[in-house]
């Protein structure tokens, strides 16, 4: 009858496992009939990698042997590892989505037939001009701005500057909306057996200002 075991690599020359010393040349412990089943990959990199498998016998003093498990404990560990792998993969995708969102927000946006810069400094200038335009409208004072965009000069009155700020806000919202949709698609995959479906989610698609 096979035993279910949790084990780690030992050093080929010293025979010690990672908990006892450095493992320069990793090899499997000397457990009779050892068959690898899975590793706790979700915790990589690890000083003492945890592997799970079956063997014919498990002497308690075998270097590298971490535990002998019941079948129920083994299956629970496998289920927990598969769930953890899914969570790790989802977290990485969501992190990439956030990177793409921030990149998209900084791309130029279309306004009156030209591309207007939306990097943080440019966005602050737009918002500052829009606030000045609002004050001018309230005070019924004249207001005009010449805005350089894509080698073109836009002559804008107060309403035009506010329209540009609205276009900037719409550009940012489009980036956030795409991020929300992509994150929802990532989180919709809840069965670890479907982890490969995460590769169907194109985190680089749908962003405003992206090249077609």
Confidence of residue 78 (pLDDT cuts 50, 70, 90): very high
**Is the backbone peptide bond immediately before 206 cis, with ω within 30 degrees of 0?**
no
Q: Are residues 64 and 8 in the same domain?
A: yes
The tokens for 17 are 């496992």
Predicted pLDDT of residue 75: 98
| Per-residue pLDDT tens over the stretch 180-211 | 999 999 999 999 999 999 999 999 999 998 65
Question: What's the rounded Cα separation, in Å, for the pair 108 and 184?
Answer: 26
Residue 137 maps to a domain? yes
- Answer yes or no: do 117 and 61 share one domain: no
In angstroms, the CA 107 to CA 122 distance is 11
175 vs 60: CA distance, rounded Å? 57
Residue 115 near residue 109, CB atoms below 8 Å: yes
**Whole-structure pTM value:** 0.85
Q: 99 and 52, same structural domain?
A: no
The enclosing H or E element of 88 equals: helix 71-105
Same domain as 177, residue 100: yes
Kind and range of the H or E run holding 121:
helix 120-138
> Could you tell me if 158 and 105 lie in one domain?
yes
Does a structural domain hold residue 42?
A: yes
pLDDT of residue 212: 44
Q: Do the domain assignments include residue 126?
A: yes
On whether both 63 and 94 belong to a single domain, the answer is no
- Whether residues 42 and 143 fall in one domain: no
Per-residue confidence band for 65, with pLDDT thresholds at 50, 70 and 90: very high
Measured distance CA(168)–CA(108) in Å, rounded: 9
Do residues 143 and 62 share a domain?
no
Tell me which of 45-54, 82-91, 95-104 is least confident: 45-54
Query: Average pLDDT of 30-57?
Result: 95
Domain range spanning residue 61?
3-69
Q: How many domains does the chain contain in total?
A: 2
């Amino acid at each position: 009858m096979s035993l279910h075991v949790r084990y780690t690599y030992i050093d080929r020359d010293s025979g010690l496992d990672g908990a006892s010393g450095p493992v320069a040349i990793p090899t499997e412990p000397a457990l009779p009939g050892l068959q690898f089943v899975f590793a706790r990959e979700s915790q990589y990199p690890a000083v003492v990698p945890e592997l799970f498998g079956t063997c014919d016998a498990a002497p308690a003093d075998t270097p590298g042997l971490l535990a002998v498990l019941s079948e129920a404990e083994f299956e629970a560990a496998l289920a927990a590892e598969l769930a953890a792998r899914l969570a790790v993969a989802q977290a990485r995708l969501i992190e990439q989505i956030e990177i793409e969102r921030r990149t998209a927000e900084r791309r130029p946006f279309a306004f009156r037939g030209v591309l207007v810069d939306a990097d943080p400094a440019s966005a602050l200038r737009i918002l500052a001009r829009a606030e000045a335009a609002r004050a001018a409208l309230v005070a019924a004072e004249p207001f005009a701005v010449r805005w350089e965009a894509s080698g073109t000069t836009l002559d804008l009155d107060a309403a035009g500057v506010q329209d540009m700020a609205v276009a900037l806000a719409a550009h940012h919202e489009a980036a956030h909306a795409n991020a929300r949709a992509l994150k929802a698609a990532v989180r919709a995959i809840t069965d670890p057996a479907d982890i490969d479906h995460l590769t169907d989610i194109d985190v680089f698609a749908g962003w405003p200002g992206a090249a077609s």
